[in-house]
Amino acid sequence: MERKEISNAVIKRLPRYHRYLGELLENGVERISSNDLSEKMSVTASQIRQDLNNFGGFGQQGYGYNVEYLYNEIAKILGIDRRNNMIIIGGGNFGQALTNYSNFERRGFMIQAIFDISPDRIGKNVRNIPTLDMTELESFLSEHEIDIAVLTIPKHAAQEVTDRLVSCGIGAIWNFAHLDLKVPDEVVVENVHLSESLMQLSYRISEKREQG
């Protein structure tokens, strides 16, 4: 697949296309036009066609898009057609919640281990996934192919752990800690900043309140 520089706005929309196509597929819909999809998703048909044509022509004039084909092609673009091995750093509530959330597995995101520093947690399994001592991080990473490290640890420890992960050659970090991690260019980071999400909601509430 050849890639131009794809804008972030486009990439953010791809998973949502994928989700809607998945639903159509479940409902047995075979084909759909950009126009019908645009109505379902409340976006413009033009945007859908532009977005998709960044990656190639997946449709057919006069017919539209084959739902199953497009669904699979977007999965390939997103890289969810392959297995992604993950480790979770931080076995607290969030780490456990993510581990227990089986939907990630269905998409090929497999959690291989949880790491923690608390003796209460080390040695315990969550859904058959072992909780290991943080001191074992380096040896574990040298022995396993891990694609993504998930950071569910407090802010103060996050950069130090990130540096260790980067030293081990980790390529991607899914960061739930509330700070901006410093990583070299070759490492990709995706942030989930829940407090910021909540503050945006709070802003919208205030906005409404003032409009009366």
Partner DNA sequence: TAGATTGTTAATCGATTAACAATC
Query: 98-132 burial, b if ≥16 CB within 10 A, otherwise e?
Result: bbeeeeeeeeebebbbbbbeeeebbeeebeebebb
Specify the residue, 25 or 43, whose C-beta has the smaller distance to DNA: 43
Minimum gap (Å) between residue 72 Cβ and DNA: 15
If we measure between CA atoms, which residue out of 65, 63, 62 comes closest to residue 49? 65
Contacting residue, 44, 100, 167, 206, with DNA by CB under 7 A: 44
Contacting residue, 47, 66, 72, 159, with DNA by CB under 7 A: 47
Show the beta-strand stretches assigned E in the chain: 31-32, 59-60, 64-66, 84-89, 109-116, 125-126, 129-133, 148-151, 172-175, 188-191
Binding residues (CB under 8 A) for a copy of itself: these are: 1, 3, 11-12, 14-16, 18-19, 77-80, 84, 92-94, 96-98, 100-101, 103-104, 107, 109, 147-148, 171-172, 174, 178-179, 186, 188, 190, 192-210
Minimum gap (Å) between residue 26 Cβ and DNA: 20
What CA–CA distance (Å, rounded) separates 166 from 182? 10
Site for DNA in 2-31 (CB under 7 A): 7-10
Choose the one of DNA, a copy of itself, none that binds residue 63, judging by a C-beta under 5 to 8 angstroms depending on kind. DNA
